[in-house]
A and B are shown apart, each in its own frame.
Chain A
Amino acid sequence: MVAVVTPYTTATGLMDTLQVTVLVLVALGATAVVLTRDPVRQVIVLSVYGILLAVLFLAFQAPDVTLSELTVGAVALPILLLLTLAKVRGREK
């Protein structure tokens, strides 16, 4: 495949390296999210995982999905999870 030249293209080898790196980081991030047992800490790790996923989607040339994943995975989902945990903790006391 001939690389297309636009003001935004980078060398193919560079893009491949970026994609491989972020894929490995995403796999490690998913493992970290699952292995964190305390729910409050897990929410923070989920937020970081969401940002890693957003970078992966950007490396796959999908800026729309990046925007969605950033707003939802790093902001909206942690808000909902933390509110639920606050509700549950308030009842246990």
Chain B
Amino acid sequence: MQILPFIVVVWILAVGLYGIVTSRHLVHLIVCLIVVQSSTYVLLLGVGYKTGAVAPYFFDVPNHTPAVDPVVQALALTDVVVEAAVSALLLAFAIQAHKRFGTLDPHELAQLKG
């Protein structure tokens, strides 16, 4: 239990990279990239967790209740939304690639020149 979340992080990273390397469709590749990014969220939140603590919101619990680390939550929060915008940019590139070369297969795209 002490190390299970980190093993899951490494597994998700490995599986996502495998998907990127063996992908035959650009949109499938982008979704595998999203999976790789999600492994970092699990890592961030796993580092900051305290057994038996509550969420760091003191609206309805007394002020000095032991709470989990809020800094990594702040990092993961903005990370999630920014990832979506960057994926949108990648998708725009995929559309343009399809317009110019007529194919979305990365193996075929690598052989075209210009």
* Interface positions of A (Cβ within 8 A of B): 1-4, 6-9, 12, 16, 19-20, 23-24, 26-27, 30-31, 33-35, 37, 39, 42-43, 46, 49, 53, 56-57, 60-65, 68-69, 72-73, 76-77, 80-81, 84-85, 87-88, 91
Contact = CB atoms under 8 A, between A and B. Distances in A.
Contacts of A39: 25, 27-28, 31
Contact of A34 (B19, B65, B87): B19
Question: Nearest 9 CB-CB pairs, A to B?
Answer: A34-B19, A3-B52, A68-B80, A61-B55, A39-B27, A30-B12, A84-B91, A60-B45, A72-B84
B41 A1 contact: no
16 contacts: A1-B50, A3-B52, A6-B65, A9-B52, A23-B4, A26-B12, A27-B8, A39-B31, A53-B41, A57-B45, A60-B45, A61-B68, A63-B57, A65-B77, A72-B84, A91-B99
B98 interface: yes
A19 to B, nearest CB: 8
Interface residues of B, number: 54
Interface of B: 1, 4-5, 8, 11-12, 15-16, 18-19, 24-25, 27-28, 30-32, 34-35, 38-39, 41-42, 45-46, 49-55, 57, 60-61, 65-68, 73, 76-77, 80-81, 83-84, 87-88, 91, 94-95, 98-99, 104
A50 to B, nearest CB: 8
